[in-house]
Every structure is written in structure tokens, then in C-alpha cells.
Amino acid sequence: MNGTPVPSGAGGKLAIEDAQTIRRATTAAALSNVATWYDFGTYSYIAIALDRVFFPDAGEWAPVLTLGTFAAAFLVRPLGGIILGPLGDRFGRTRVLSATVFLMTFATALLGLVPSYGSIGIAAPLIVLFIRMLQGFSVGGEYIGALTLVAEYAPDRRRGTLGSLLEFGTLIGYMFGAGITSILVAALPEDDLLTWGWRLPFMLALPLGVTGLYLRMDLEETPAFRQQMERSPAMATMALRRVFQILAKHYRSAVLIAGGLIVAWNVTNYVLTNYVPTYLTTTLPAHGESGTSGALSATLQVAVMLAMLIAIVFVGKLSDRIGRKPILLTGSVSLILFGLPSVWLLRTGLPGQVCGLLIMGFALLCFAAVTPSTLPTLFPTFIRYGSLAIIFNVFVSAFAGTAPTVIGVAVTTTENLDWPGYYLIGAGAIGLASTLLLKETAGRPLTGAAPLTSSADLPSPPLSEDGVPMENPLKDRPE
């Protein structure tokens, strides 16, 4: 069965998708997401070496410039969302997703080949800047496309569970990047790390990306997209301007709710995964506080992500039972109450650093497990990919992806080490307001799509006297 609508008995139609197809689609999205976020996140983990490779003469501003190059990817993410998202609504989710995997893999492998500042001077960081922008353009269409694909394949009763698998893949990608970096930093002498060792994590993107590309190219379109094309194929020719008009006229509140959840989720994410490693290894020692080595910082990141990895699917499944809002509220309140204490703990030695990271990880878990299944319900099928790609990337680029750089500048100029905590509190307040305005979406069909279930959830067909399944018992009854 391939998204075939059948009478539901309650008005409207019920779409039934083959269970094996759902598993294949979800697995493909999650595994290729591993490759994407390994590629995108590795830069921040190996930043402890990159500041000396590409900014050797920048002094105390070298970490800030390295984080600034990281943030540059977010400048073009909205452009990627504006171009790639509407293409996904026009030509289909799987075609665009295959293109983004290829582009991300190519850019990351190329990053591992860039000569150092000592070899070609200022051209080196400029090339890195260009490649990071290429990665940002790709991510602008990649993540939301994968999120849309999983949401549109997931049965209504299990969207939270399957949506959390997407972030399961994200965490594995980040953890893999942090783990590889930790091993290299611990095993290689500093000269080898700065000469050639930093290149290895980027070159590993090639086999990961090829695997992700193969899995995505084997997928057919989602049930919701097929239904949309059957009902109104002319929607595939809608101009981008019309998408903005529809959002502004009919979905203004949805845009603000989605934007708030995106900011709360991603500020927490980028503070934890991108700023905290620099904070522990460089910022705290520079201010006379107790920091950590690069290897230990990466190890702590891996440990926190492993804990999140174990719990995230359970939290997603829990949201299918109790709803998305209670879990989002928990994450938001945690940031407001414990955002600043978690940063204070990072300055109290190893036990405190573990506790501080776990607090941040718990708040991030609440958003990461639930938001992927929440955002797609806010918009209809014919503009879902495009609208979410635009909204997600604009809000991430403006408020979340720039957070590590803004925090780094604020700490450097004011000598106040509490800035990460202020950011977390602000993220929690925004998340709380957005969640309170959100209508519960658990268990409900996507807007513009038929109710969807899996063939595995259907009752078993009746059996004949010989034990043979009967599709039509009245027709098969012997005379």
C-alpha cells in the first residue's frame, strides 16, 4: 500500500502506508542526517586547532574569528531555505534532499583540502569562509526537508516517535564529529594535529555522504505530497511571492510560534555544542578560571550527547501519549530557572562541568525530541517545505547560529563570563511564550493531508476455515 486513501468511517478518508516503506523512509532520513550534521558540526569541534591554522596572528581574538567563520554559514542559510524549500514543494521532497546531501558532502571534503594560513596567507581563511557559506546554503534546505519527509511519512499516532529519530541521527552526527576530534586531539602531537591531523575529520565526510545519498535516492515521494499533486497539481507552479503572501495573510501566528520554538531549540543547541567547547578550553583559562583540555571537553560533549541519544526516542514516544506541549514547557522552564546556574557550574571544576552540561543537555532534549514533529503541523502540505525552510533558517541565522559569536564578543569585551547563561534564559522565555500559544498537535493529521496510519497498525484480516487471510470475507465465502 502506498498512501492509498480508504474510507475511514468517520467522514473523510484514511491513508494507509506500507509499514516497510515508512521504516525505510525514516531510516534513510535519520542516517543521511548523521552525515549532514557530522559535516556541519565538525568545524566547531576542531576549532581548537583551526584558530591556529587559519588565524595564527590574531591573538586573543583568534577563537572569536574562528567562531565568526562558523557563524558565516548562517548568513546564507536563509538563501538556501528560500531557494531549496519552495523547490521541494514544487518538485518533491526526495529530489531536493538528494541534491543537498551531495552539496554538503562536496563542501566538507573540500574544507579538508584547504592550505593553511602559513602556505597561502589571507586566502586560506577566505576560502574557508566561502566553503562554510556553501555548507550553510545546503543546510538551508537539507534539515527542514528531512524533517518534512519524516513528518509526512509518519502515522499520526507515532509522529513524535519517528520525528525524534531524526534528531537521533543529528546527535549521532554531532557525537561522531566530537568523538573523532577527541581521539585526534588526544592521540596526535600538537604539530601533527596542526599540520595534517585536523584535515582527517573533514575527509571522512566523503563515505558518509555517499551512503546518505544512496539511501535518499531510493525513496519515493511522501503520502502527503502525492495526495497534494493528485488534488491540485497546479500548486507545483506557485510563485515564491505567493508563498510569502499566504504566510503573511493566513499564517502569521503560526510563523511566530514556529520562530519562537526554533529560537529556543537552536540557541540551546548552539550554546551547548558550539560555544561551550571554546568556553571550557579557551575562555575560562584566559580569565583565570578552571577550564579543561580540548580532549576532555570533546569527551564531555560526547558523554552528554550519548545520554541524550539514549533518552530522545523515549521522550518522542512520550509526546505521542501526553502531548507535545508538556515536554516543550518543561524544556522552556528548565532554561529559565537553570540556564545561569548551569553556566556557573562550568566554572567549578570537572564535577560541576558535568552537571552544567547535563542541565543544558536536558533542556535541549525536550526541544529536540518534540519540535521536529510539531513544526510540520503548523503549515499545509502545499507550502510546508518552503515556509518551514524560510522560517527555520531566518530565525536560526538571526538569533541562534550567531549566538556563539555574539557571546564570545560579549565575554571578551565586558569580561563577564555569565553571558551564555543570559542567552539560555532568553531562549527559555521565548520558548515558554511560544508553547503557551501553541495548539496541541499530537495524534492529529497534518494540515492538508488525509489521516495517515501504517499497515502494521491495521487489524489482522479474518481467516478462512483453511487459515487463509480473506480480503473480502463476503465474496470469499463458499456457497
Radius of gyration of the chain, Cα coordinates, nearest whole angstrom = 23
How far is CA 93 from each of CA 96, 183, 234, 385, rounded to the nearest angstrom?
A: 6, 37, 17, 8
pTM, to two decimals:
0.83
Give the model's pLDDT for residue 440.
Answer: 94
Give the model's pLDDT for residue 392.
Answer: 92
Low-confidence ranges of the chain (pLDDT < 70): 1-12, 58-59, 235-236, 455-479
DSSP SS3 for 463: strand
pLDDT tens digits along 419-448: 999 999 999 999 999 999 999 989 898 887
Contact by Cβ (8 Å): 362, 334: yes
13-17 and 2-7 as β-strands: parallel, antiparallel, unpaired?
antiparallel
Cβ atoms < 10 Å from Cβ of 190: 11
pLDDT tens digits along 308-323: 999 999 999 999 999 9
Give the model's pLDDT for residue 298.
Answer: 78
**Distance separating alpha carbons of residues 424 and 420, to the nearest angstrom:** 6
